């Protein structure tokens, strides 16, 4: 089955510094990769996805992600973090024998300090 792994439970970064939230994937065939963000007591908000094409994907709120096939990674990045970016971030994958089902990573809690 398609799967993703988020190796970090928590990432801490100072406001204004660049941030990276890591995700690696394991898929058969071509991956469909997604990033979602969840604020406390809220649903998931879509940030960006990789289907095919350019390895650098730009998304909402200044976030971007780089698809790296050789390293099987899809790390989420932002050049300058905001305190309001503090939230829970999920990487997800579907397709292949997982079909429609989005298989999520365990989530990474991002804390941006002033």
List residues binding another protein (CB under 8 A).
Answer: 32, 34, 36, 41-46, 49, 51, 88, 90, 92, 94-95, 99-102, 104-107, 109
Hey, is 30 helix, strand or coil? Answer: coil
Q: Which is nearer to another protein, 82 or 104 (CB)?
A: 104
* 28/12 Cα distance (integer angstroms): 33
Number of C-beta neighbours around residue 42 at 10 A = 10
Locate 86 and state its tokens: 């503090």
Q: Which is nearer to another protein, 82 or 102 (CB)?
A: 102
Q: Which is nearer to another protein, 80 or 106 (CB)?
A: 106
Q: How far is the CB of 16 from another protein (least distance, A)?
A: 27
Q: How far is the CB of 3 from another protein (least distance, A)?
A: 11
Question: CA of 107: how far to CAs of 52, 54, 62, in Å?
Answer: 24, 25, 20
């Amino acid at each position: 089955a398609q799967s993703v792994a988020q190796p970090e439970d928590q990432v801490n970064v100072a406001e204004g510094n660049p941030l990276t939230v890591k995700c690696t994937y394991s898929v058969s065939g071509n991956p469909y990769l997604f990033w979602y963000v969840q604020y406390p007591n809220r649903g998931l908000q879509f940030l960006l996805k990789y289907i095919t094409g350019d390895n650098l994907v730009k998304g909402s709120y200044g976030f971007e992600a780089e698809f790296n096939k050789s390293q099987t990674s899809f790390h989420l990045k932002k050049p300058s973090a905001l305190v309001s970016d503090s939230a829970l971030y999920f990487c997800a994958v579907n397709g292949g024998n997982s079909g429609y089902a989005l298989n999520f990573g365990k989530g990474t809690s991002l804390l941006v300090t002033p």
